[in-house]
Amino acid sequence: MNAISVRNLSKAFGKKRALDNVSIDIAKGEMVALIGASGSGKSTLLRHICGLETGQSGSSTIEIFGAGLQANGRLSNGARDLRRNIGVIFQQFNLVGRLSVLSNVLVGNLGRIPVWRGTLGLFSSEEKRLAREALAKVGIPEVAWQRASTLSGGQQQRAAIARTLVQRANILLADEPIASLDPSSARRVMEVLAGVNRENGITCVVSLHQVEYARRYCPRTIALKDGRVVFDGPSTMLTHKTLVELYGSNSEELILPEAVPDFVPDYTQPEPATAKSPDLAPAFA
């Protein structure tokens, strides 16, 4: 079954065509990279898939697990319920800085509990236990009581992933989650995303600037250029040569300067035990 199905999606902002007749299917359990130079439409596509934007009127549709999220530029009646299945992580601004990390993770419950309970911040001990388990799953159980503003960028992204686990999202859309991180934090966040995909079966779509991360962590890559899908296939086929053909001089934006050209990754193998925190036990599996 497809987790996400997009048909004929176009979107213009004034005269700028941000998405141009995009059609993609993403199967349940896939881990897909969305790459493209700046302004190619990655964020716009993700914002449509989570229902934050509607496409142009016409014959476009977006379905989530076979149910209509939007059609012809209008959100469906069931969109609100479908959105509960979708966790979203942005490059920044994922957490409320003055609240504890645990409170931020507990926010993932809000779609499921009575509004009054959420407003008063009244969470059951079971909900708190699950939130702590989610923090353990992403490898940062020790920061539960810290103010979110005191976390490093990578820890903040991992806390945001923990919140989507508490939300019980079965689709995770991550919009440039590693763009402002140093390489080791970026790898750690990508490992956590790959872990929740592999161990929890969560369908992940991750927009990335660097193709190396796509090749290392995502079996499939969808590449956008000027709002159009210009590549959709195995990440291993997206060689530097192909990137140059697709993007010309803009391809430099997508290749890490120190990258070894066209190394072949092995993302099919689970991470070796040494590369993983013992905290990443599949508590939610």
Ligand X SMILES: Nc1ncnc2c1ncn2[C@@H]1O[C@H](COP(=O)(O)OP(=O)(O)OP(=O)(O)O)[C@@H](O)[C@H]1O
- Interface residues with ligand X (CB under 6 A) are 13, 16, 18, 36, 38-44
Is 22 or 171 the residue whose CB approaches ligand X more closely?
A: 22
Q: How far is CA 222 from CA 25, 63, 143, 193, in A?
A: 11, 18, 35, 17
**Token pair listed for 53:** 């934007």
Tell me how many degrees the CA angle 191-42-222 measures, rounded to the nearest 5.
65
Is 52 or 280 the residue whose CB approaches ligand X more closely?
A: 52
Is 35 or 166 the residue whose CB approaches ligand X more closely?
A: 35
Report in angstroms how near the CB of residue 187 gets to ligand X at its nearest. 20
Is 35 or 136 the residue whose CB approaches ligand X more closely?
A: 35
Closest Cα partner for 134 from 112, 91, 111, 103? 103
The CA R_g of the chain, rounded to the nearest whole Å, is 19
Closest Cα partner for 24 from 54, 58, 60, 52? 60
At a CB cut-off of 8 Å and minimum separation 6, what does 17 contact?
10, 11, 226, 227
**Token pair listed for 102:** 């645990």
Is 163 or 209 the residue whose CB approaches ligand X more closely?
A: 209
Where b means 16+ CB within 10 Å and e means fewer, 181-213 reads beeebbbbbbbbbbbbbbbbebbbbbbbbbbbb
Report in angstroms how near the CB of residue 43 gets to ligand X at its nearest. 3
Report in angstroms how near the CB of residue 226 gets to ligand X at its nearest. 9
Residue owning tokens 């934006």: 253
Report in angstroms how near the CB of residue 252 gets to ligand X at its nearest. 14
Report in angstroms how near the CB of residue 228 gets to ligand X at its nearest. 12
The rounded distance, in Å, linking the Cα atoms of 119 and 117 is 5
Report in angstroms how near the CB of residue 94 gets to ligand X at its nearest. 16
At a CB cut-off of 8 Å and minimum separation 6, what does 55 contact?
9, 10, 11, 19, 48, 62, 70, 72, 73
Report in angstroms how near the CB of residue 54 gets to ligand X at its nearest. 12
The helix (H) or strand (E) run that includes residue 233 is: strand 228-234
Is 57 or 180 the residue whose CB approaches ligand X more closely?
A: 180
Is 29 or 39 the residue whose CB approaches ligand X more closely?
A: 39
